[in-house]
A and B are shown apart, each in its own frame.
Chain A
Amino acid sequence: MNKYLLNGFYALFAVIVISAFAFKIFQPIKVLPRMQLAPAFNLTDQNDEHFTSEELRGKFVLYTFTYTNCPAPCYNLNTTMQEVQSRLSEVELGDVDVAFVTVSFDPDRDTAAVLKTYAEAIDADTTKWSFATTTNKSLLKTIIGAGFETYYEDNGDGEFSFTPSFVLVDGWGIVRAEYRYQTEVPDTDRILRHLGVLAEEVSNSTGTSKLAYEAAHLFLCYAP
């Protein structure tokens, strides 16, 4: 009997170890990493109204950073934002809304009125796409530079040097993905895929399925 028991416990140990390896290798559940807390902010939008990070709680938010005088095509930032919006129906999002935010790092020229004109010129749907900035340049640098980790610098000749980027933030205010480099897969496709991964995690964020998703975080089963 002792021999049977011993073999049983060996089998038990093997099952646990193999299950853990299988989870890691086959990654049946994919998640996006919880990279850091997104910065909190109180900006002014294209309607000259306060626009805060608090209003975006509960929504997935795609941020990008630019200035309205950026010579076209300006890294295709607007094109990507518009493509993601027009193809949102391809993603199963459940009840979660997606908001889009373009933050200008040129508050001297990008006043609320200018941002509004700019939004109209590119035919942006401002019910879900906001354009915002703040005249507090020091705080703006903190929010964009340190908070969203996006480099920008005023060249002094009317143009800015900056790293084109998109940042995806979840409904808890946590940065879940950053898109800063050209890859073989267009940003639009990756962003849409990641929105789907996030939505699936939200819909499984209670009960036993939550445990499986936490295991996916633990085993770093990240969606490409």
Chain B
Amino acid sequence: MKFKAAIVIGVVIAGLAAGVYFFRPHTFHGTVIQSPDPSYNFTLTSANGNVSLSDYRGKLVLVYFGYTFCPDICPATLANVGQALKKLGDDKASQIQTIMVSLDPERDTPEKLAEYVAHFHPSFIGITGSNEKLAEVTSLYGIFYERSQGSTEENYLIDHTATLLVIDREGYLKLVFPFGVTVDEIADDLKYMLRQ
């Protein structure tokens, strides 16, 4: 009898542990934003014409600010996003739109941007615009950028905030990934958001 009781207690404890694990809330790898307002809608230019953030309402939208001459941070982040989409599979990836906003309109033409982002995933879109428009958009998304000290007119780097932003299906900024987020972490959070 004591043996049976011990088994029952053991099973209940195991069940409790499994239950806590099963019912636990998703722990986001990015920082969750609980904004009461939709994120700022903007329109910039791609190789195929104007693109607005609101064009992708109904999809998750990943927005990354960078530039094609970026030596390390931008390609590393975009490569991770591309791999995360591959990991999620075509069905889920089709519900996600990744947009790279170039902070370097002088060198990054829309055509060059299109060619650049296609290296990371065929669904990626590259957009840019005037310096005035970029100043407005970046400010409202908390993205600081400036040309590095010591740059020349033709050959320069741009220091910029390297966060990856996730806009939900309703157009609200939901998640901010810091630089260094891994493929698995991106895929895990996106998978959860697609279920909602």
Smallest distance from the beta carbon of B141 to chain A beta carbons, Å?
A: 6
For B17, the closest partner residue in chain A by CB is A12
Query: In the complex, which of the residues B19, B28, B142 contacts A173, with contact meaning CB atoms closer than 8 Å?
Result: B142
CB of A42 within 8 A of CB of B32, answer no
How far apart are the CA atoms of A217 and B40 in the complex, in Å?
A: 23
How far apart are the CA atoms of A118 and B135 in the complex, in Å?
A: 29
How far apart are the CA atoms of A143 and B31 in the complex, in Å?
A: 22
How far apart are the CA atoms of A10 and B190 in the complex, in Å?
A: 33
The verdict on A172 contacting B139 (CB below 8 Å), with A5-B12, A40-B161, A54-B144 known, is no
Interface check B37, CB cutoff 8 A? yes
For B143, the closest partner residue in chain A by CB is A40
Which residues of chain A come closer than 8 Å to B16, judged between CB atoms? Answer: 12, 15
List which B1-55 residues lie within 8 A (CB) of chain A.
Answer: 4, 7-8, 11-12, 15-16, 19-20, 23, 25, 27-28, 31-37, 40
How far apart are the CA atoms of A9 and B17 in the complex, in Å?
A: 11
Interface string of A164-201 (1 = CB under 8 A from B): 00000000111000000000000000000000000000
Max chain A Cβ within 10 angstroms of own Cβ: one of B27, B136, B138, B145: B136
Q: Tell me which of A31-39, A83-91, A100-108, A122-130 binds B.
A: A31-39
CB of A40 within 8 A of CB of B144, answer yes
CB of A8 within 8 A of CB of B11, answer yes
Majority SS at the chain B contact face: mixed
How far apart are the CA atoms of A15 and B16 in the complex, in Å?
A: 9
Which residues in B have some Cβ–Cβ distance to A below 8 Å? 4, 7-8, 11-12, 15-16, 19-20, 23, 25, 27-28, 31-37, 40, 132, 135-136, 138-146, 161, 173, 176
- Besides the contacts A36-B37, A54-B144, what 16 more A-B pairs have beta carbons closer than 8 Å? A5-B12, A16-B23, A37-B33, A37-B141, A37-B142, A38-B142, A39-B142, A40-B138, A42-B146, A54-B161, A138-B132, A139-B135, A142-B136, A142-B140, A172-B31, A211-B27
Which residues in A have some Cβ–Cβ distance to B below 8 Å? 1, 4-5, 8-9, 11-13, 15-16, 33-42, 52-54, 136, 138-139, 142-143, 146-147, 172-174, 211, 214-215, 217-218
For this complex, 27 residue pairs linking A to B, each with C-beta atoms less than 8 Å apart, are A1-B4, A5-B12, A8-B12, A9-B12, A9-B19, A12-B15, A15-B16, A16-B20, A34-B32, A34-B33, A35-B36, A36-B35, A36-B173, A37-B173, A39-B139, A39-B140, A39-B142, A40-B143, A42-B144, A52-B146, A136-B135, A139-B135, A146-B40, A174-B33, A174-B176, A214-B32, A217-B34
